[in-house]
Chain A
């Protein structure tokens, strides 16, 4: 079975990832994807670059567990998560989530569920470079709220 979770420094190609999931399963009737990218502004500051740190081993396990939970909650066919780490530039891709299902509703929901889950429960940390110096990004209360909508308590912030 192809890997469901990849943590990598290299960029990714959404077309390649979607093609792999579609070609492996003729039962797919819907594909939903999300890509997170590096913004040039954060909390009013200009961001020129970003560094992403993670907890090797735990990161992969945590996301695998999130995908397993998505399969329990939604009628989906497959899921794929790629998250980049290391140095990134403005406009670079950071994260990809692709979910397939027979009909659109389940993949739309599962894709958002996975992103909300990942935001507050996967061990990644962003450090931004701004004209005022480097600083670690603060976690957002709104991300905890997003996960709570799915009935999961988050105490990240």
Chain B
């Protein structure tokens, strides 16, 4: 399926782009993260398992098991620090 990925803050800087369109066979958010890590650097380090990475699916905080849908918007970012 086709979807859009957005990156923010330190993760945006690490991967060198704020967004990209991707075609994937991943069915969940966690599987998509693993797929990106498998690309190698800089994704492997930026999204490494064990690193504090938060995710959103269609602009709602979500976990590994969240099911992806055609045309959805996914985001990867570090822990939030507003306020």
Contact of A139 among B6, B60, B75, B80 (CB under 8 A): B80
Most buried by B among A94, A121, A156, A157: A156
Contact of B81 among A61, A62, A83, A138 (CB under 8 A): A138
A interface size (C-beta, 8 A)? 29
Answer yes or no: B61 CB below 8 A from chain A CBs: yes
Against B, the Cβ 8 Å flags (1 = close, 0 = not) of A68-104 are: 0000000000000001000000000011000000000
Given known A95-B83, A124-B82, A139-B81, contact A55–B54 (CB-CB < 8 A): no
Answer yes or no: A106 CB below 8 A from chain B CBs: no
Q: Is the CB of B80 within 8 A of A121?
A: yes
The minimal Cβ–Cβ distance linking A2 to chain B, given in whole angstroms, is 22
Q: Is the CB of B77 within 8 A of A55?
A: yes
Q: Is the CB of B83 within 8 A of A94?
A: yes
Residue of chain A at shortest CB distance from B59: A58
6 of the cross-chain contacts (CB-CB < 8 Å) are A53-B8, A120-B79, A123-B56, A123-B82, A125-B9, A126-B82
